[in-house]
Structure 1
């Protein structure tokens, strides 16, 4: 029943509801139900943008996470790491949170004024809000933990300092989850007042929930910025060509959108949790949370998508353009071409240590997400992702810096059973 019908059938409950609303600072003085003042009153609804955003980001983030797992398993032939196993439940809980937000619109009257919905919708709004916040806490925790696990693989072996930073980040994320769940669940006395409107109307005590959520949201924002800055700072600290650093940095740029969602969410904390009209004022907070969850999962998956975005798609486009040009110029159809799918060993054994062999080496799948290119290594660029010491040994032996134990048969990352001491000389007969 609407509040106007509640006035006719249960005026005592309506009075209790209005008295509860009067405890908030934004409650209007001398409030009167608009339907009593204007018989032609049409309740406004601003939930449509949130609903569309929920559907779009749920679909896009799920597709991106699925592609991430497919690329790791099928394209690169890699075993799932901790970051992959963590993103799966993280995405499931993220979808659960988005489903709750859609139910808030459909069943809880989210996007409408609290005086334009029924009391049953107000009760459902309170219950779904509690469930949604709890799901959000765990979903964003798993997504951030997945990003941290990826950073372990990306740069955890680079230095002890970075490993300590990553260890500290994991401990902080775990403590953050425990504190925020405990603080939110036990914010009210009795505890059931957190999700039951009838208990609230009967009388309850509560801490300053708006201040608590605001502090936690600011900490969330700082955590998002930290997980964005840490890998980007590492990439830009390397002695790599400018465009290489830019190309790697853009992969992490989606984390900036997640940070923007956290900013929006922070702005709307007080209008939601310190207002008598949370169904109307909560849309901005929910939009920020959906953006943070959706783009958090996308940014966690983009490094794995680097294989398609940087190699597969450009190679496919190049092949399509070359094929089209050959069909338009038949004179080039009979020219001999070198197969593009040869392995490093095939190209090297046929042509020796030439440019194509080095490029083929880079194109072979490895356990590293990013390949900074044979050109930077040929110029002697040192990277934290390279195995230390091999370049110096190669220079002393007079070998090409790329034709060494690193990555060749018999090495730790090699692909055959040859002796680990075997090294191919630079002047191998062609």
Structure 2
């Protein structure tokens, strides 16, 4: 076998020395150490007699670009809102989401490398041994990045919930701390189990190096390990999804705001669904380079909806402001059309900045003005058997007008 020949396609006898060792490494991976590498690796899918060339590489790359845009838009909007609104504090949950977005973007880039260098999106019989060796390497990297990314998203959401419950609801804070500790242990295990699962370590990252060893490497069962990682990820995601639903049940706020927040967590439910389908579709067929694209789809849904779930509650005040502004413009347009027809004569004068400065100011107006001052304060205030959320719009704050009016008149700032 010449060292400078073209690599053979998977399923055929090797053309090069590299092919020979890659096939030997593949045989050892499947527990067929006694097989002769010169015969090629024949345990994977073979081309049917009526096969016509097809590929999904372009569609996958387009999908990955859409994934990156979906990750960037809510993250950048969240950070811009934090930076532009002095009433909002840049906290640890924001740092966590920045790190999560960075890892998720890197995950997308790695999958593009799988397409370009590893033959992803092609049938396995159209992939060379050298391409498949690259496929295995980048697939290991992508697996690690995926579990780290979804864990960091959970960390950001948990830190956000902990910040809300700060100095108000001790059991929730303790629960958040315990959950954060479990996430930290999970990330450590992910890093170790996906990087040093073979002895020697390099055998787990390169089929060629694995085939060059005199004796087969000793490795943990990577499929069992992937199942364990997926199950823990599903359990953690379900717990995190249910926790805010229970918390919001005891929060006193307007019905519209509660519906919005519940809808945000429904988005999180889609992320959990993506993780579940990703787990169920791990072993689709022996045509790995072709069938793995369906796993990318559900993993992308998991990451994208997880990023949205982490950022939408922070963007809630902005979303509500936009909605109120739109309704106000529509209402103003209707009134303007009514003025043209003479309907404005029946309307009483409305107090505003252009009216008599000695006009009486009602307590409700003071409350609305004070409430508008800080739309992004995140805290809970315990009141009898309920917990009141401070991250409210002016509409929600008017419900507790007496408390706000008393606080403002006494010169004290509500606790965070």
Q: Say which of 66, 91, 108 aligns to 2:76.
A: 66
After the TM superposition, which residues 218-229 of structure 1 pair with which residues of structure 2 at under 5 Å, given as runs? 218-229=231-242
CA RMSD of aligned residues (A): 3.7
3-state SS, counterpart of residue 383 of structure 1: strand
Deviation per residue, 1:337-362 (Å, 9 max, x gap): 44599xxxxx99941313x4333333
Range that drifts further, 15-24 or 48-57 = 15-24
Task: Label 1:350 to 1:96 Cα distance change in 2 as closer, same or farther (>3 A).
Answer: farther
Secondary structure at the residue paired with 2:119?
A: coil
Q: Determine helix, strand or coil for the equivalent of 2:184.
A: helix
The alignment of Structure 1 onto Structure 2 pairs a total of residues equal to: 383
Query: What displacement does 1:298 show?
Result: 1.2
2:13 is aligned to 7
Structure 1 residues 413 and 239, CA gap change in structure 2 (3 angstroms): closer
Structure 2, unmatched stretches of 5+, are 1-6, 33-40, 392-399
Unaligned residue ranges in structure 1 (runs of 5+): 342-346, 388-398, 415-430
1:16 maps to what in 2? 24
Q: Which TM-score applies when normalising by structure 1?
A: 0.77
Q: Does structure 2 conserve the Cα–Cα contact (< 8 Å) formed by 1:76 and 1:366?
A: no
Instruction: Tell me if structure 1 keeps the 8 A contact 2:61–2:112.
Output: yes
Residues 369 and 386 of structure 1, relative CA distance in 2, 3 Å threshold: closer
Distance in 2 between the 1:135 and 1:42 partners?
A: 34
Match of 1:253 in 2: 266
CA contact (8 A) 1:252 1:303 kept: no
Aligned residue in 1 for 2:250: 237
> Is 1:184 equivalent to 2:194 in the alignment?
yes
Q: Give the C-alpha shift of residue 295 in structure 1.
A: 1.4
Look up the match of 2:129: 119
Map residues 24-423 of structure 1 onto 2, 5 A cutoff: 33-34=46-47, 38=49, 41-47=51-57, 49-75=59-85, 77-202=87-212, 203-238=216-251, 242-271=255-284, 276-323=286-333, 325-327=335-337, 329-330=339-340, 331=342, 336-339=349-352, 350-354=360-364, 356-369=365-378, 382-385=386-389, 401-402=402-403, 404-408=405-409, 410-413=411-414
Contact persistence 2:272–2:302 (CA under 8 A): yes
Q: 1:298 to 1:339 in 2, by over 3 A?
A: farther
Q: Measure how far apart 1:285 and its partner are.
A: 2.2
TM-score norm. by structure 2 comes to 0.79
Cα distance, 1:237 vs structure 2: 2.8
